[in-house]
Structure 1
Amino acid sequence: MHEVVKAAYAMEEGLRHFYHAVSLDRKGEPAQLLRKLAAIEEGHKRRLTEIYMRLTDSTDISDLITGTSEKKILEGGFTMEEFLRKSAGSIETEEQVLTLAMMLEAQALDLYLRYSRKTDDQKAREILHKLGDEEKAHLSLLGNMMEKTA
Structure 2
Amino acid sequence: FGMVYEGLAKGVVKDEPETRVAIKTVNESASMRERIEFLNEASVMKEFNCHHVVRLLGVVSQGQPTLVIMELMTRGDLKSYLRSLRPKEQQWSSLSLPPLKKMLQMAGQIADGMAYLNANKFVHRDLAARNCMVAEDFTV
TM-score, scaled to structure 2: 0.33
Look at both structures and tell me which one has the larger radius of gyration over its CA atoms: 2
| TM-score between the two structures when normalised by the length of structure 1 | 0.32
More strand by share: 2
